[in-house]
Amino acid sequence: MADRHDNHLQGRVSVITGASSGISAATARALAARSARVVLAARNADKLNTLVTEIREAGGTATARITDVTRRDDVEGLVDLAASEYGPVDHLVNNAGLMLFSKWSDRAVDDWDKMIDTNLRGYLHAISAVLPGMIARQSGHILNLSSVAGIRVGDASGVYSATKFFIRGITDSLRQEVGITHGIQVSMISPGVIDTGWAEKVSNTEGKQIAQDLNEGAIHPDRVADAIVYALNQPSDVTVNDIVVHPTRQDW
């Protein structure tokens, strides 16, 4: 019987979107510390380069590509880079996203469009880019970050929650199709309120106040990274389907 502390991450190629900060940056550090080879994607070059340097100085293996997940060719280029640098992609941590709160009556259509482009199209682009290789090898792991907002809709989170319900839907569909047919592991992590600086990105005045109030009880991104590592660090015959991680003192 395999030891429950076996490291199934060693040497694995892990592509992580949204990696310049927050949960994805914490995940990159955690996976690299367990000898995975991480390929980081985000739009902020300075933050990406700083994180790559940090991981390498700690003895890990990392590279990065400036990537806009709303552009399909950008994401295809990211996966091509991973393959050329380290080999076929074993893990996709799909986490590039925007969390912009507003009331429906505010008609914050620009914010809605941004979330649709990033939270929906971005996830689909990344899945599309890694699927052919995973299907050909009959192995791989797709991990989608959703949210407790994809379980229950909160105040001023209508469109954001809708994008997270979408992620739950595509994850269930992937699990049924490529999981059963092609042996690809498919997981979903649904965080509660995490201290990633997201509240400061909300531009809508009323939505920003709601976000700041909600963020007061937030927990550290490392807590979610631990859950991601747990889900990915499983033998190929085991899939962790769904984990919810949220602050103890908040009602999600």
Beta-sheet strand order (sheet of 242-245): 61-66, 37-42, 13-17, 91-94, 141-145, 185-191, 242-245
Q: Which residues are catalytic?
A: 160
Torsion 94-149-210-107 (CA) sign: positive
Angle at 60 between CA 45 and CA 232, to 5 degrees: 90
Smallest CA-to-CA distance from 222 within 10, 41, 22 is with 22
Give the DSSP H or E segment for 40. strand 37-42
Other C-beta atoms closer than 10 Å to the C-beta of 109 total: 10
